[in-house]
Structure 1
Amino acid sequence: MRLFQVGVLLLTLALSGCKTETPASAPALRVFITYATFRPKCLTLTVVDVHDASHTASGAVPVDEERLSDTRLGVIQDHPGWSRDLRVTAVAHEGSCAGPVIASQSAEARFPTRDVTDLGLDLRAEDLDGDGAFAAKPPYPGTDCDDTDPAIHPGATELCDGIDNNCVAGENDAPRETPFWPDADADGYGDDGGPRVLACITPTGFTTRGGDCDDTAGDIHPGQAEFRCDGRDDNCDGVADSDGFSVGMACTTPLGCSGVLACAGPSASACASSEQPVAYFADDDGDGEAGQSVGPGCMPPEPGATREDTDCDEGSALARQGLTEQCDRLDNDCNGQTDDGVTGCASTAWDAREELGDASARFDAVAVYSRRHGWLAGVASRVLHVEDDAVTPVTNCEGEWKSAWAASNGRVFLGSRAGRFATLRPGEEAEPCESFSSGHAGAINGLVGFESPTDNIVTLYAVTSQGRVLRWRYDDGGATQEQPTVLTEVASNLRAIHGLDETTLLAVGAETVDGQPRPVAFRAPTSGTTWTKEELGVSDATGFLNDVRVLTPRLAYVAGDGALLLERSRDTWTRLPTLTVTGGATPDLRALMAFGRTALYAVSSEVNDVHFFNGSTWSTATQSPATLNALGGSGPGDVWATGHRGTLLRWTP
């Protein structure tokens, strides 16, 4: 216990150990000041004359800063002029005597006239965490904003940790190390050019991420792909319409023109060019001159394409600029006129001959191997060899002949209704023809062959009613012959086959769909063994395709029932104008011969005419005395037609 004295009017502090005695022979008021469970930094004792408040005295009471609980003794001595009624107040302060009051107690006492009177004052304050700062609780709140944590109190170092460490202004007085940018459009990215602030927590309207190049638009900010093409920098990478749009980058248009990428609406960019494309043409028929349009471009759309259009018929090597006009219904010199300047061409008549063999003869096939030289074949084993105007019957070649093809040396190959092949050469008309089984039943309806340039092998391709495509290699002069083989078998009735070589073959006929025959065509493989069914684009057509002619690797024609005439140009099938005959009937086209895009012949079921198609319109080339079944020819100036009553028509100007 500590003793100190308070002299009235003159305060005297005198520490005298723990003794409780007072000076002898002097009355005094002893004040016992007790505090527990806290350490005040300052205690004060104040005495006031109850009857005269001007009589007051106070003094600091020394404390032991290491003690949580203690009792201090103060002695108040008499002083002249004061009344005996006194108010005594003990006060505990936080931090210093100038600090906030954390505990106070007052009591009135009467100063004794003799001896000593005791007065006890008890102070209570709360510092639960023992950090010297007291809880901010009434009636005497201290300055500790969290009296459960000794690290939180006035004077502590403020940190950016979400806590008011020093109990002053939240975290506003913390060392501010985190920058924040104003985010006016609330897209999570701030304006780098705006006023940056440093804070511990994100202020309202600010964000920790900068880089927003347009803080007025919430959909424009970094961290995303460019999502529209509109001249704006959606992802703030410094380049408008970058990423998938790549606006401004060099490019090439689909037509081969040099340009730069530009917006083509909000969702795409496209190559824009100031170059003007020009028309290009290709040489599809191999005559050295180009006339097939391959579209406009700034660069050749395909190898060999040229800007010069010098070929008026890309289906024939006999029509191009620089040639001399011939009498063949082709515009040979490409001057826009046909057979102009050829004397007597317009009056050249067809040579019609009847009853070759006899009036009952019917020929279903014709094979021409040179000008005015060829073969006719048909029912009842009838086969004729024609040389100019001489006609020689073959006397011993039994069969119902459906198809024929002749090699350049005049050897003819025949296909029969019973699935047999036969062959003979000019001069062998009186001898038995060679006969071979195909190995399969069913009519051989179509036949085409190719001669080897290095040996005597002729490779023949045939189609049958059962949908087979046969290949037969014939060794002219060989002691033995190979057996025909089946290349493919399709679910169709095949009527005709033609091509320039084994890679350009087309086989045509009909397939059954919902109980009806519908036109069908199959293309030979360029590699492998699979024949491809063509998409003809005529789903409304019914009946058969009866004939086919391949003019170039990129051009072919097929003809069939319902006057159906189709052109296959560069893998695209196009329906050509329909033939109509007297009375408005639509005939079936039985046979087809083509010498170019502008020179096609056909025979039909309704009339005996030989029909001619010039690429745009139909006309009658000549009339026949009987129904016609087959067409052939060695060229556009050597056209043959044959059919019933042993009829043969030839146009050989």
Structure 2
Amino acid sequence: MRLFLVAVLASTLAGCSKGDELKSAALKVQVHYEGFRPGCVTLTVTDQAEVSRHVTKDVNVSAGAPPGTLSVAVFRQAGWSNDVKLLAQAHEQSCEGARVAIAEATASLAKDGITPVELLLAATDGDGDGYVVSSEGGTDCNDRDETVGGPKPWYADDDGDGYGNGLLPPRVVACEGPALTASRTGDCNDRDPLVHPDQVEFRCDGKDDNCDGVNDESFDVGRTCRDTLDCEGVTACGGTNGGSVCANTAVPAPYYVDTDGDGKAGTEAGRKCGPIPANASRDPSDCDESSRFRSPDLAEVCDRIDNDCSGGPDNGLACNLDWRTPVVTDGTKWNATATDGTTTIWVAGDGGKLARSQMDFTGGRYVTCDGDWKDAWVAASGELFLAGGKNNSGRFARVTVNAGECTLETNNVPQVVNGLIGIENPSGAPTLYGVTGGGRSFRWTPPAAPEQTQANQMDASLRAVSAAGRPDTLLAVGSRSARPVAFRFDAASSTWREEAISTTLTGELRGVHVVNANYAYAVGDNGMAFERTDGLWSAMKPLPSPYTSRDLQDVVAFGKTAVYVATIEAGGTGGSVLFFNGNEWSVVYTDVNSPARALRSLDGKTPTGVVTSGDRGAAASFVTTR
């Protein structure tokens, strides 16, 4: 029989019977340890009379800070002598770890009963990490740092990403690894520093980027998806920078919206496979999205426009396209013209000149309004609003339909106001916007006083302003250093942003008309005529000779096939109204007075009611019944 050793002395002795002679004598061996905590203690008992008789017991040491004690029972064994030698050996971490301390003692089992034996194991573990200092046989790589233990395996790391090749055994076991090695392993591609464990799958490429045995698990490859155009497909690799895409074979169909306000959708707004936005249509139903006066459902009227989209203007109608002029004229220089488009004309000029008449120039009368007036606008209510100045200071004014005099507003406007436009407000008075030659912009909502839209003035001389019913459509034009300039109003910040106009022509832009959010027109000196489409300015077709070098004073547009401009001759004398039908220009009115008079302004709410006025009482209107 082998000598019996047990680590729990009390329970073993308590289980002995009185007739067991071999267990009537025992050693109570207490192994003390201090300065470190061994991972395992090996106790060897050898028969001193015959050293070939020996037995060894490994005892794992429970966690806990040193010092500590292990108790082991050694019993008398048949065939052995009574005298034994005890050898205790301490190991780091486990029974296979480095031996760091030993202790020896002799004892006799000749007498019955329990004989105590004590052994002391001592070693140094300065940082308490379970590794003993190397000078005492331990393997601690740094006994002053508890985070640094003993030697560890180092694996080949050819790509330098800090993870060793998971397919190769360690290159060395040491405290410090040689060049191109790492203490962590598991790298599944040691030729790519971006590929290693402990990261998310970061690119969709059909490969395993985090060495978890799965390819592209972060990208849901193969799952049903919908792309940005709402087309169903399957997620696949192929996006930019290693991303994924929703691959599909469906062809998105276009859809159309109404941008000119005529109730017919004709502007392609995008392409989709799924449901389209509300008020959009899968099929185009408008022939011209630049004009609310053209759509297949409209009746044809005399206005030089193909209203019903049948292929020609005024087709099938007996039209009288003559312009009417007032019977009585005076010597006033009318700078501004404003009309409601159906019944009323207002003309205004310097020296407090303001007059009102019917569209056919009957029923005319003067209204008292002190100021030199530069521009005017009529609200849907029929109320007139004026902009101008006096004595180099700006002023605004308002006139109700039948009033004999105007109401002036002169506060806080340090410069003469050249241009004016109004925006209707369904719940109250309209808001007026005015611009000055000094680059200032004013906002005026009566009865409140005018206020500047931005503190700093624009670096330009501004001559005209226009909008299509909303502040975010406001445009202002003028010049800087004899070059044409245009500005767009940013409603969110109440500031003006300059827009590029590419031209070699010089001079000033004097008139602007915004048709809708996508179309606008501006004209000026030396035959300048520009069209703004979807935010970009471009030159219109040149005017016919001899108008190519004449100064254009104002513009009214009802879409890309109906643009009117007012001109003056060289030297500022005679004037004409020209019309652009989308393909070519034509002269539709010329002042026949002798000497001929310059035309300086245009206005019209609809293409069936257009009015012009100018020097020495010049005025003319084109009016039809819609």
Q: 2:303 aligns with which of 301, 311, 328?
A: 328
Larger radius of gyration: 1
Aligned to 2:206: 231
**Residue 292 of structure 1: CA displacement?**
1.7
Aligned to 2:15: none
How many equivalent pairs are there? 469
Once the two structures are superposed, what CA deviation does each residue of 1:538-559 show, in whole Å capped at 9, x if it has no partner? 4877543323333335554443
Q: Equivalences for 1:591-610 in 2 at 5 Å?
A: 591-606=554-569, 608-610=575-577
Q: 1:281 aligns with which of 256, 259, 265?
A: 256
Code of the aligned partner of 1:416: G
Query: Does the alignment pair 1:257 with 2:224?
Result: no
Q: Is the 8 A contact 2:356 2:367 kept in 1?
A: no
CA distance in 2, matches of 1:198, 1:408: 90
Q: Equivalences for 1:67-466 in 2 at 5 Å?
A: 189-190=164-165, 211=186, 213=188, 222=197, 230-241=205-216, 247-248=221-222, 251-259=225-233, 260-264=235-239, 267-299=242-274, 304-335=279-310, 337-339=311-313, 341-345=315-319, 348-353=320-325, 356-358=328-330, 360-387=331-358, 388-390=360-362, 392-394=364-366, 396-418=368-390, 419-425=394-400, 431-450=404-423, 453=426, 457=429, 459-466=431-438
Once the two structures are superposed, what CA deviation does each residue of 1:92-150 show, in whole Å capped at 9, x if it has no partner? xxx99xxxxxxxxxxxxxxxxxxxxxxxxxxxxxxxxxx9xxxxxxxxxxxxxxxxx99
CA distance in 1, matches of 2:341, 2:160: 88
Aligned to 1:521: 487
Residues 299 and 510 of structure 1: is their aligned pair in 2 closer, same or farther, counting only changes over 3 Å? farther
Aligned to 2:65: none
**Residue 254 of structure 1: CA displacement?**
3.6
Code of the aligned partner of 1:377: A
Q: 1:579 aligns with which of 532, 542, 557?
A: 542
**Residue 593 of structure 1: CA displacement?**
0.8
Aligned to 1:73: none
**Residue 275 of structure 1: CA displacement?**
1.6
CA distance in 2, matches of 1:462, 1:363: 19
Structure 2's unaligned 5+ residue stretches are 1-47, 53-86, 88-99, 103-132, 138-151
**Residue 501 of structure 1: CA displacement?**
4.5
Aligned to 2:610: 639
Code of the aligned partner of 2:612: A
Q: Is the 8 A contact 1:519 1:542 kept in 2?
A: no
Aligned to 1:27: none
Once the two structures are superposed, what CA deviation does each residue of 1:449-476 show, in whole Å capped at 9, x if it has no partner? 3555456x454433232333334445xx
CA distance in 2, matches of 1:579, 1:354: 31
Q: Is the 8 A contact 2:302 2:321 kept in 1?
A: no
CA distance in 2, matches of 1:230, 1:447: 61
Once the two structures are superposed, what CA deviation does each residue of 1:138-180 show, in whole Å capped at 9, x if it has no partner? xxxxxxxxxxx999xxxxxxxxx999x9xxxxxxxxxxxx999
CA distance in 1, matches of 2:182, 2:444: 84
Code of the aligned partner of 2:287: C
Structure 1's unaligned 5+ residue stretches are 1-65, 67-94, 97-130, 132-148, 152-160, 166-177, 475-480
**Residue 424 of structure 1: CA displacement?**
4.1
Aligned to 1:550: 514
**Residue 307 of structure 1: CA displacement?**
1.6
Give the % identical residues: 32
Code of the aligned partner of 1:448: I
CA distance in 2, matches of 1:599, 1:300: 35
Residues 389 and 580 of structure 1: is their aligned pair in 2 closer, same or farther, counting only changes over 3 Å? closer
CA distance in 1, matches of 2:193, 2:427: 78
Residues 544 and 303 of structure 1: is their aligned pair in 2 closer, same or farther, counting only changes over 3 Å? farther
If the length of structure 1 is used for normalisation, what is the TM-score?
A: 0.59
**Residue 447 of structure 1: CA displacement?**
2.2
Q: Is the 8 A contact 1:277 1:298 kept in 2?
A: yes
**Residue 230 of structure 1: CA displacement?**
4.3
If the length of structure 2 is used for normalisation, what is the TM-score?
A: 0.61
Aligned to 2:465: 497
CA distance in 2, matches of 1:207, 1:453: 75
Q: After alignment, is 209-218 or 604-613 more displaced? A: 209-218
Residues 533 and 200 of structure 1: is their aligned pair in 2 closer, same or farther, counting only changes over 3 Å? closer
CA distance in 2, matches of 1:411, 1:199: 95
Residues 488 and 294 of structure 1: is their aligned pair in 2 closer, same or farther, counting only changes over 3 Å? same
Query: Does the alignment pair 1:559 with 2:523?
Result: yes
CA distance in 1, matches of 2:193, 2:437: 72
Q: 2:477 aligns with which of 509, 517, 522?
A: 509
Once the two structures are superposed, what CA deviation does each residue of 1:341-379 show, in whole Å capped at 9, x if it has no partner? 33123xx33314278523x44322111124152112224
Once the two structures are superposed, what CA deviation does each residue of 1:72-107 show, in whole Å capped at 9, x if it has no partner? xxxxxxxxxxxxxxxxxxxxxxx99xxxxxxxxxxx
**Residue 632 of structure 1: CA displacement?**
0.8
Q: Is the 8 A contact 1:181 1:208 kept in 2?
A: yes
**Residue 299 of structure 1: CA displacement?**
4.2
Once the two structures are superposed, what CA deviation does each residue of 1:183-226 show, in whole Å capped at 9, x if it has no partner? 9999965466x8x79997899x9998765556898876545666
